[in-house]
Chains A and B, each alone.
Chain A
Amino acid sequence: MSVTRTRLEIGSKISANLLASAAQGYPGEACGILLGRIEGDRRVVEDFRPAPNRWSEREDRYLVDPESLRRALAAEEAGGARVLGFYHSHPDAPPLPSETDRELAWPWYCYVIIRVATGKPEETRAWELDVDTGRFEERPIRYT
């Protein structure tokens, strides 16, 4: 689908807020929407919106509240910030996509996974689904 490899850019202040937000959901999985602009192969995160986790039956699953996403997409349609992707946390697990992540993944969107170890955010990595292989490819994150 995308021939060029996308890169993610996040301002350090937003990144700090994002990490704090992700850590708040511990030990459950926190999740939300990443918003910003697209410049060529760069996706610049300018804002994020935490979304309620609607997967209530299990603590090791997340489901971004569909209404939150609907509103974000509607705002985008009206000329607002682009929905670049989503973030979620992995409590006490490495920020690597799991089989579940892969099965439920959408292409094009950037999936940012934040490892939260015993309540503290420790590592962030970004991934995008490659439609040809059906696997996640890592995307570089540049902090500005």
Chain B
Amino acid sequence: MARVSIRIPTPLRPFVDGRSSVDVEAQTAREALARLTESNERLRAQLFDDDGELRNFVNVYVGTSNLRDLPDDPALEEGTELSIIPSIAGGRTSQVIEVTDGDAEAERAGLTTDELRRYSRHLLIPEVGVEGQERLKGARVLLVGAGGLGSPLALYLTAAGVGKIGIVDHDVVDFTNLQRQILHDTSSVGTSKLESARARLHAINPNVDVETFETRLDSGNALEILQGWDVVADGSDNFPTRYLVNDAAVLLGIPTVYGAIFRFEGQVSVFGAEDGPCYRCLFREPPPAELAPSCADAGVFGVLPGIVGTIQATETIKLILGQGRPLIGRILLIDALQMQFRELSIQSDPSCPVCGENPTITELSDYEEFCGVNVDRGGSADGVPEMEVTQLQRWLEEGRDFQLIDVREPYEWQICNLEPQGARLTPLGVFPTVVGELDPAIPMVVYCRSGARSANAVEKLREAGFDAINLKGGILAWAEEVDESMPTY
């Protein structure tokens, strides 16, 4: 038997009443440890596992030799010093843990080592950090539209690491899209926008799960498609869809990040958030159809949807992180030409039919009708006489006497026209002033880009007593069927 002293490291001293050293009588080191812990359950649990083996994170030294290195348990000499030395270890794992910070437990998706690296610039920002990045990974965002606004939305949300992104679009990539829809490129012209989007987004960030909905959103499918998403980012380009998305999202209790563009002006807001207004609180009814031309009709400054869509992505990310001040109750107005940003304060309207105190809209209805939009954009107004482009070609070959009138804008005339065929430009806007120069005795064939504007013109001309006929399909049909070399737009 030898009397030995065991040195206790600071963290274990509370278990031995604060002593830095404990003396025991024992023959071997293991016996000494057993003596030390025999009436000290808590200390034993620190040093030994359930099988009675010394824990990995504890080293015991006998003098200057590690007990683990000694082949057997040698006999101790009187006065030997044993030391309990903590084993200090650690390392990186794929799961970064929660630290005590007082925040409520949130649904978290652990980040992989690769993701910790990919998003490292996010992790360094206090407002994001690991917790915020995990929120992004667990978030589900639905994008309506993969076009001008949808492009920067999809690109930035993907780069930011949103876990699941859904995209609703039924269109094919068109050459004219490439001026602004940076999600797509020349090689994807003619293919589905969704497939083009998926390929590009996966190239940026393979961790993002892209779910596609190749369909036109309507009252029959909107609730089913929007259900289950955390945020809807509206990148649609027409009023019926905006109202549809707003109503469906409000009914489902999902916030919508709204963006809209027209030429050089843009708008961004967050609708349908708790205690915030919805789209209808601000715009109870859609504007008359003729004041709401599409990009094809009105044109759009290519970078503008880039600015607006990126701001929409910013707001979406802020909503997911719960950081900053989202545009709830505010609408941001952007004038890109003047480069001025204004903001208007908007309130929830208690009499709003969908989100007010007594909602009258409890299900989705016909939005096309609501917006007075003629769905078939290439078609003509009902009851207006029309002719096919091939018939016009025959009239020209036969040398018939008629007037060929183009009612488009001058810039459209610059792109392509039927001047060689004797067409005369009288834009719709100036029609009333020049109509007096037209001969009512001679029939006139009226055309525009696709046949819609000209149909309206023909209706009015016929009311005024002219023998006017609409060219079905407009100059686009001529380019497709008669003169393939003609540039279109």
> Is there contact, CB below 8 Å, between A74 and B91?
no
A37 within 8 A of B: no
Q: How many residues of A contact B (CB 8 A)?
A: 48
CA–CA, A101 and B64, complex, Å: 27
Q: Are A31 and B10 in contact (CB under 8 A)?
A: no
Q: How far is the CA of A102 from the CA of B99 in the complex (A)?
A: 10
| Bound Cα distance from A127 to B10, whole angstroms | 17
- Nearest-neighbour CB distance to chain B for A21, whole angstroms, equals 16
User: Is B116 at the interface (CB under 8 A from chain A)?
Assistant: yes
Mark out the residues of chain A between 89 and 144 whose CB falls within 8 Å of any chain B CB in the assembled complex.
Answer: 90-94, 96-102, 104-109, 111, 117, 123, 127, 130, 133, 135-138
Of A63, A92, A98, A136, the residue contacting B88 (CB under 8 A) is A63
Closest Cβ–Cβ distance, residue A17 to chain B (whole Å): 20
A4 to chain B, nearest CB (A): 15
Interface string of A27-38 (1 = CB under 8 A from B): 001010000000
> Which partner residue on chain A sits nearest B98 by CB separation?
A135
CA gap between A130 and B59 in the complex, in Å: 22
Query: A3 near B: Cβ within 8 Å?
Result: no
A66 touches B83 (CB 8 A): no
Q: Are A92 and B100 in contact (CB under 8 A)?
A: no
Q: Decide if A48 is an interface residue (CB 8 Å cutoff).
A: no
Chain A positions within 8 Å of B20 at CB level? 77
Give how many B residues have a beta carbon under 8 Å from the other chain's beta carbons: 34
Residue in A63, A97, A130, A137 whose beta carbon sits within 8 Å of that of B89 in the complex: A63
Task: List B53-101 residues whose CB lies under 8 Å from chain A.
Answer: 57, 59, 61, 64, 66, 83, 85-93, 95-100
Q: With an 8 A cutoff between CB atoms, is A73 at the interface?
A: yes
Chain B neighbourhood of A67, CB < 8 A: 66
Question: Given A66-B66, A98-B96, A98-B97, is A61 in contact with B91 using a C-beta cutoff of 8 Å?
Answer: yes
Whether B85 lies near A66 (C-beta < 8 A) is yes
- A73 CB contact (under 8 Å) in B66, B83, B96: B83
Once A66-B59, A98-B96, A106-B11 are accepted as A-B contacts, the answer to whether A93 and B89 lie under 8 Å apart by CB is no
Contact of B91 among A86, A98, A117 (CB under 8 A): A98
A8 CB within 8 Å of chain B: no
Q: Contacts of A55 on B, CB cut-off 8 Å?
A: 89, 91
Contact string against A for B residues 429-455, beta-carbon threshold 8 Å, 1 for contact and 0 otherwise = 000000000000000000000000000
B200 touches A (CB below 8 Å): no
Q: In the complex, which residue of chain B has the Cβ closest to the Cβ of A2? A: B14
A-facing residues in B89-117 (Cβ within 8 Å): 89-93, 95-100, 113, 116-117
Chain B positions within 8 Å of A88 at CB level: 90
Q: Are B130 and A106 in contact (CB under 8 A)?
A: no
List the A side residues contacting B85 at CB < 8 Å: 66, 69-70, 73
Q: Please, how many angstroms separate the alpha-carbon atoms of A133 and B61 in the complex? A: 30
In the bound complex, CA of A107 to CA of B42 (Å): 15
Interface residues of B in 1-53 (CB under 8 A from A): 7, 9-11, 14, 20
A64 at the interface (CB under 8 A from B): yes
- Identify B93's interface contact among A63, A69, A100, A133, CB under 8 A: A100
**A106 & B97 in contact (Cβ 8 Å cutoff):** no
Contacting pair A73 B9 (CB below 8 A): yes
Task: Pick from B64, B95, B96, B113: contact of A70, CB below 8 A.
Answer: B64
Is A137 within 8 A of B87, CB to CB? no
Min CB–CB distance A50 → chain B (angstroms): 13
**Among candidates A62, A73, A133, A138, residue contacting B90 with C-beta atoms closer than 8 Å:** A62
Chain B residues within 8 Å of A69, by CB? 85-86, 88
CA distance A88 to B120 in the complex (A): 19
Shortest Cβ distance from residue B92 to the other chain A in the assembled complex, whole angstroms: 5
CA gap between A63 and B91 in the complex, in Å? 9
Interface centre among A74, A92, A106, A137 (most CB of B within 10 A): A106
7 contacts between A and B (CB under 8 A): A55-B91, A64-B87, A66-B66, A70-B83, A93-B92, A98-B96, A109-B10
- Other CB < 8 Å A-B pairs besides A63-B87, A66-B61, A66-B87, 6 of them? A73-B9, A99-B97, A104-B87, A109-B11, A123-B124, A136-B97
Residues of chain B touching chain A, judged by Cβ–Cβ distance below 8 Å, are 7, 9-11, 14, 20, 57, 59, 61, 64, 66, 83, 85-93, 95-100, 113, 116-117, 120, 123-124, 130
Mark A residues whose CB is within 8 Å of B: 1, 29, 31, 55, 58, 60-64, 66-67, 69-70, 73-74, 77, 83, 86, 88, 90-94, 96-102, 104-109, 111, 117, 123, 127, 130, 133, 135-138
The 7 closest A-B pairs by CB, nearest first: A61-B91, A101-B90, A64-B88, A108-B11, A63-B89, A66-B59, A60-B92
